[in-house]
Structure formats: C-alpha cells, structure tokens
A and B are shown apart, each in its own frame.
Chain A
C-alpha cells in the first residue's frame, strides 16, 4: 500500500464520493429488478414461487439474523457463523444417533449445541480480538481451520477414538460419518410444530384465480419472529447500547469505560449460538444433513442474503435480513428456470446467481476496506 499508494488512494477517494450516490437501497432495488425479470422470462407460476419463498423464509431467516449482532458491535460480517453451524450439526448427529425424535429431538439438539457454540464463539472471539480491524478475513480463515478439525473428527476419529456403532450413520468401513445423513427424526419438526393449531396451509380460489397451495412453516416463523423480537429487545438494553458504542468506535467506547474486548466476545458468542440454532432450523427443514458441506454453504449464502437485503458491513437490521432472504431466495428459485427459458440451459442461470452472490460479497468487502482507510473527506 505504501509504494503505489497514490493511485490506490485516489481510486478510494473516488469510491468514497460515490458511496453516497449508490445509496443503501440501490442493491436491493437492483436485485428486485433481476427477480422480476427472471419471473417474467421464466413465466414462473406465482403460486409455486410464493410457496417456495414461504418455505425458504422459514429455512434461512434465523441464520441470517444471527449475523446482525456482530455487525452492530463493529465486527463486520461474521464469517465465523460456519463454526456455529458445525456446533449445530454435531448436535444433530448426536440426537440422530440416539434416535431422539420430533420436537424433543430438536430441543435436545439445541441444548447440546448451546455449550458447544458458546465455547466455539468464545474461542473465535478471543482470536478476533487479536485481529482487530481484520475480523472478517480472520473469521473466514478460522472457518476453514475449524472445518479441518470438523473433518478430522467426523471422518477419522468417529468410529476409532470415539466409539460409535451405528451402521446408518457410519460409512460402510465403520469409520467416519456418512456424507449424507437422513434426518427423518427431526425433519420438519419445527415447521410443523403448530400443526395441532393450524397446519399453515393456504388454498382457496379468489374468483377465477387459484390461490395456493401455500404452506407456512408456522412453528419456524414463530421462532424466527421471536428472535426478531429478541434482537430488537437486545438493542434497547444496556448491553445492546454497549455493543453499538463499541461498533461505532472502540477507542471512544473504551475511554467511556466500556470493556470493549468483552463486549466483542459476547457479540460473537451470541452470533455463534444463534448460528448453531439457525443451522438446526435450516436442516430440519431440508431433512438431510450433508455432513461435509451443509455448514460451508450457509456461511456464504447467509452473508450474501444479508448484503442483498441492503446491509453493509457496518449497518444491518432485521429488515435487511428479511428482505435479503426474500430477494436472494427468489433469485435462487428463479434463475435456473430463467436460464432454462432463455438459453435452454438451467446452469447458466445458476452460474449467474452464484456469480452475483459472490460479487455482492466482494463489493461489500472492498467498500468496507475503503471506508476503514479513508478519513471523512479530502
């Protein structure tokens, strides 16, 4: 940065002046337009789309919400939620092994995931406090590192060091967990938890127009709603205020006597626990665990969804999370179909979507870097 510094800086200056123009709502607006175009060219059945969106809002929103607290506390996008997701998956494997099923199974999994996630979050927080200003990259690398350990445990140690005898879970060799684990026991346990009251099915005819069938995963929506309430509540508490202060300016916060490092760790712990639970919710909806992939995917996709919802690395709210999940998943559903309709190849739409998802993350990170380096105005 020293040598060719001049040019880099003037480019940053340029970006800086322009960030005002590319106001926050530009990104969601752009994606909304894409979604609409996609829906139109794919001639998509709206009832199908809406049903998908209802399901996916339940599936993913909790996870995306788990990203909010670290943003508020100034830690940026928590790429470390991958680690939380691993805690969730470990818990799921355990309850599956012991055949604890249904809502009880899910609840037990949450309880098992809790201490694991607290521990992982605390460790992550310790590391991130040593890497102030580079939290996001550090979090990402920590995720890779943790993934290595996770694989070591699940591929090598289970069945050897950790005794386990369960042919449905283990690979045929008896060592290591299978690539995919069927989660029959807990599948849709939360989504359908309120079926006793109402199964969430909406289907009627509005004159000549058929509406539905849409199914609302009621239990999951309820829990997600509770989390939204919880986060808003947290932001109104003393702890929330301290997090905001640390996020605004750690130095000033510490001069005001706020224990900055502790608050940062707390934020990461909360986020990791929520991510673990979020992953449980995600997987109970999907119904199968991709032992070595599920957690890897959710990190990037949740972060992309939040950004698509108009969040930045410094500012993100519940609205961004929900809008983001909505847009991102609409695109998810629409793009292969649009690819098929326009080019005859569904993969093109798929590539396009992945390209956009990573593109959004890249742009957000670049902007973040500039904003951190530059004084307010020249």
Chain B
C-alpha cells in the first residue's frame, strides 16, 4: 500500500491526575483501511479516541502531549466541532444520544436540514425552519443502510440498547464529509448476526475511501474486517501487525501480557426430572418495553440453575428481566418460592431477594459521580440495610464506612476492577471497569436470583473469563440462581444449564447449551418451534 496516511497520531501521551494512561502512542491509518485497536479494559483505547475527537474531558484534565496529523498536516483538535469539520466521526462507547429527541432528530443533530423563510433572510441561518420530512428521509436511508427496521420518529428514551447502538452508528454514516471514522466498541450489545450487519456497513464505508478505527473486545470481528491491528496494553502500543500476520491466540497474549487459558467449567449433570425445585414461577408475563416487548412469557426457574436468555435484538430477551424487576410496565403473575412478587415495583422486586445488572449501565446502573464503594454498596444499603451501624431507628442509621470499604476492596479484587482505589469516582473508570462495578453492586445484594442483562458488555476477554467463572461459582457454591441475558450466544453456551431463545416477544424454545448451532440459528429466526403454542403473530 503506497497511499499516504490520512490520519497520523504521533507520540500521544496523556495523564489523568498524575496517572499516565497513554505513553507515546503512534498510529497511522490510510484511506480505505480498517484498523482494529484492541486491548484490555483500561488499556487506554477510549482515551486515545477521545483525544482524536477533541472531547472536553481531555482538555479539562490538562490536554495531552503529541501530535495529530491529517493528510500530513498537523492539526489542533480542541473540540468535537473541530473534529467533525476535519471529517472525523465517532461512535462513542457511551451513547451520545439525546433521550427526549426522536431517532431522526438524533441522527441529524446539529446537522439539521432547514429551509429558509422570511425571518431567516433577515436574522440569519439559525432562524431557518427545520425540514422534518427531509430529516426523516435521511435518517431512514441511514437506518436502511444498516438494515434496521425501526420507526425513525420514535423517541430514543426507552429504546433497547441494541437499537441505540444502531442509531448512533446511523448518525455517523449519515455524515457526508467523513474521512476517518472511529467505532468504539460498537458491537458490545449486538448479537452475532447484528454485528454481521455492522461489519458489513463498515466494509462498505471503507470502500468509499473512509479510514476506520475499530475498537472491540471480540477478536473474531477484528479478524473478519480489519486490514491491520494495533494492540494496547497499559497505555502502551505493544504491537502493530497486518491482518495476515495476526492470529487470535497471539493477539490475546499480546493484550494481556501472558498466556490466556480458557478454563472450561465442569458441566453440571442436567437431567432434572419434573419434581424439580422451582424458585420462580413466571406465568403469562407481558412487558411493555419499547422495542423489546414480551408477550405471555411462561417459565419455571429451577433453584440454583443458570438460565440463559438469548435471541436477536428487538425480540424481547431484554424485556423479561426489566419487566420482572419493575423497570418497565409489566402484567402477569410471578411467584417466588410460592409467594407472589408484585410487578411494576422495583423496590419490592429487590426486597423479594432479586437483583439486576442492567444492560444500560449509564442510565439505570450507575451513579457516575459517586465513588466505586458507594456505587457498590448503595442498593444493598438502601434495600437491605447492609453497611449500616446498628441503631434503633432504621431510617436514621449511619453508614458503616469501614464495612463498605472492606467489601469494595474484596469486590475490586474478585472482579479485577482496574482503578486507583475504592474512592475513585465511577466516571473516571474505563467502560469495561464501570461494567464490573455494576455487576459488583448487584452481587453485593447476595440475591437469591440474579438477573444479569449483558453482564459482560464491553468487558475484555480475560476479564470476561473471570466474570463468567465468578458467576458459575456464585451459582455452584453460593446457590444463587442466575438468569443471564446476552446477545453473545457463545457466552451463554459456556455457562448456562439451559438457554431460552426468544422470538417476537415469545419463547421460541429452550435448548441445552450443547445443542447445535443450527438449532440455535433456526430458533432465533423463529423457524424452529418446540413446546406449546408458539405463535408468530403480534409485534409489528
């Protein structure tokens, strides 16, 4: 490839409050190149991209050293607006979508299509009226480009994360002057087939001459699309290679700095009979979660099992947990240990011994400006009265800081949360480490039943192993019943005892983890029906 680089990063160094998180990173991408960037949680990938996009966190924390060149010319990127002018687009790891705006408005945000009118002729362009119709059309075509069928007039608030991800991507591909495009973990909440759509869209973009930087923790995706790969570890660039020299196991080693073994967990003998020990009985559950509607869901959850819920985005797999935990309006009956659990009441759900890891850590899961320890212990403190000094009036007890600290430290160690200490505020953690805090918070409740929605979202391969192992241990040793929702079938098959596949809001079937890929595929597509009356009507 003799073409010259469109983007060059030279000697990028950045520290946050005295901690160096990037050390002299060099990076080059050419037009048409898809460049994969991989590294552990906290390796500095997002920070590097934030620098490239002129994000305010960078400038508010003292800027960075090094140089950015576009077409060989040094440039100063001091704001996202400047980055956009230079033709840089970015799909952020944390969604940058306005919840109260419609999908179309988000896609066209600050690039609205306007028509001039009497007043704008006098007072200037900012008085031009919005042409909603044209904006909708643009949004529509960007979404169609990604093969996403969702009504572009819906508000973003309440959309399932998978859709938000696509809206975020659609916004970027709708930009016309793109030269460099950054994807920061765009596929973390997507199923394999959806990720396939995304990769396809990326290829098409790159064929148009756009250089792409692609961050992901799924190495097979990098192998599928990237032309070249950089690997970061602890803020340093440890390797750069072309696609044909890359091998997955080598990459993993580079990333972690040691050999990664895939621990294989002992399978549990299955074959429970009908006299099984049921901990939770769900009957006729319907959940009104926009985009993830659940229809008449019936299930008996066995005590101590790990149940997986899989399916494509929009088919209701996420709705189940959100409905039962009271975050979205639900109907139906749920019995835990024979006692009814009241729906639509998060507090009751928590009190009845259930906890949830939300798939949307930003909005539901975390308190971004509080410390790690506060985030971890808060729900348990509020709902169960843990970490409080004894006292006569429950409402007036003081928090037990030492106990909180101790517990936080254990969690940090167990889940390998990379941080400067339990007092670090959560906003300052890398995406994957925030996810671990979310998980730690739910585990702190020591629930009988843990609803884990995308528990490994954005978590690197090493840490994922650790977390899956931890969940299995909770279940085998602690007797915790776990319902794990995941868009990654592979991880469900790795730890679940049985896997429910959802299709159009209903159970399409239940499979053992060792069922064939074919069976899973058919079931997700709604073509394979087992059990009783599974219809494919409803759901537009």
Binding site for B on A (CB under 8 A): 4-7, 9-10, 13, 17, 233-234, 236-239, 241-242, 244-245, 248-249, 251-259, 375-378
Contacts and interface: CB of A to CB of B under 8 A. Distances in A.
7 contacts: A17-B347, A241-B130, A248-B101, A255-B53, A255-B55, A257-B79, A375-B366
A238 B127 contact: yes
Given A252-B97, A257-B110, A238 B128 contact: yes
B127 A237 contact: yes
B99 A248 contact: yes
B363 A258 contact: no
Given A236-B129, A244-B101, A5 B120 contact: no
Interface string B11-43: 000000000000000000000000000000000
Interface string B74-96: 00000111001000000010001
B110 A245 contact: yes
A376 B126 contact: no
Given A245-B101, A257-B81, A237 B128 contact: yes
A376 B379 CA distance: 14
A82 to B, nearest CB: 27
Given A248-B98, A257-B110, A239 B127 contact: yes
B33 to A, nearest CB: 25
Contact of B81 (A252, A259, A378): A259
A236 B382 contact: no
A6 B381 contact: yes
Interface of B: 53, 55-56, 79-81, 84, 92, 96-101, 105, 109-110, 112, 114, 119-120, 125-130, 327, 346-347, 350, 363-368, 378-379, 381-383, 388, 395-399
Given A376-B364, A377-B327, 7 more contacts: A234-B127, A237-B120, A237-B128, A237-B129, A238-B126, A257-B79, A375-B363
Contacts of A236: 129-130
Contacts of B98: 245, 248-249, 252-253
B125 A238 contact: yes
A244 to B, nearest CB: 7
A378 B366 CA distance: 9
A258 B110 contact: yes
Contacts of A376: 363-364
- 6 nearest CB pairs, A to B: A257-B81, A239-B126, A248-B98, A256-B110, A256-B109, A376-B363
Contacts of A253: 98, 109-110
Contacts of A257: 79-81, 84, 110
Nearest to B82: A257
Given A13-B382, A238-B128, A248-B100, A256 B80 contact: yes
Contacts of B379: 378
Given A242-B110, A252-B96, A255-B80, A6 B363 contact: no
Contacts of B120: 237
Contact of B364 (A6, A233, A377): A377
Nearest to B156: A248
B382 A9 contact: yes
B87 to A, nearest CB: 13
Nearest to B132: A236
Contacts of B92: 255
A43 B80 CA distance: 63
Contact of B395 (A7, A245, A258, A377): A7
A6 B110 contact: no
Contacts of B128: 237-238
Given A245-B98, A256-B109, A375 B364 contact: yes
B443 to A, nearest CB: 16
A4 B97 CA distance: 34
A253 B111 CA distance: 12
Contact of B388 (A6, A238, A241): A6
Contact of B367 (A252, A259, A375): A375
Contacts of B84: 257
Contact of B79 (A17, A237, A254): A254
Contacts of A9: 378, 382
Nearest to A11: B395
B376 to A, nearest CB: 14
B382 A10 contact: yes
Contacts of A245: 98, 101, 109-110
Given A236-B129, A375-B364, A241 B112 contact: yes
Contacts of B398: 4, 6
A251 B97 CA distance: 10
Contacts of B97: 252
B396 A7 contact: yes
A238 B108 CA distance: 11
A241 B79 CA distance: 20
Nearest to A14: B347
Contact of B346 (A234, A249, A377): A377
Contact of B126 (A7, A237, A248): A237
B37 to A, nearest CB: 20
B338 to A, nearest CB: 26
A234 B120 CA distance: 11
Nearest to A3: B398
A256 B125 CA distance: 18
B96 A256 contact: yes
Nearest to A4: B398
A329 to B, nearest CB: 31
A47 B129 CA distance: 42
B114 A238 contact: yes
A241 B114 CA distance: 11
Contacts of B105: 241
Contacts of A234: 127
A265 B126 CA distance: 15
Nearest to B110: A256
A258 B105 CA distance: 14
A241 to B, nearest CB: 6
Nearest to B84: A257
Contact of A10 (B114, B119, B395): B395
Contacts of B381: 6
A140 to B, nearest CB: 25
A242 B111 CA distance: 10
Contacts of B80: 254-257
A7 B389 CA distance: 13
Contacts of B383: 378
Nearest to B101: A248
B458 to A, nearest CB: 18
A72 B130 CA distance: 17
Nearest to B171: A256
Nearest to A263: B126
A238 B112 CA distance: 7
- The CB with the most chain B CB atoms within 10 A, among A4, A13, A241, A251, is that of A241
Contacts of B365: 375
A6 B383 CA distance: 12
A244 B100 CA distance: 9
Contacts of A251: 56
Contacts of B119: 233
Contacts of A375: 363-368
Contacts of A238: 112, 114, 125-130
B96 A255 contact: yes
Contacts of A249: 98-99
Contacts of B100: 244, 248
A242 B98 CA distance: 12
A234 B127 CA distance: 7
B384 to A, nearest CB: 12
B395 A378 contact: no
A255 to B, nearest CB: 5
Nearest to B57: A251
Contacts of B363: 375-376
A156 B222 CA distance: 75
Contacts of A255: 53, 55, 80, 92, 96
Contacts of B112: 238, 241
A257 B86 CA distance: 12
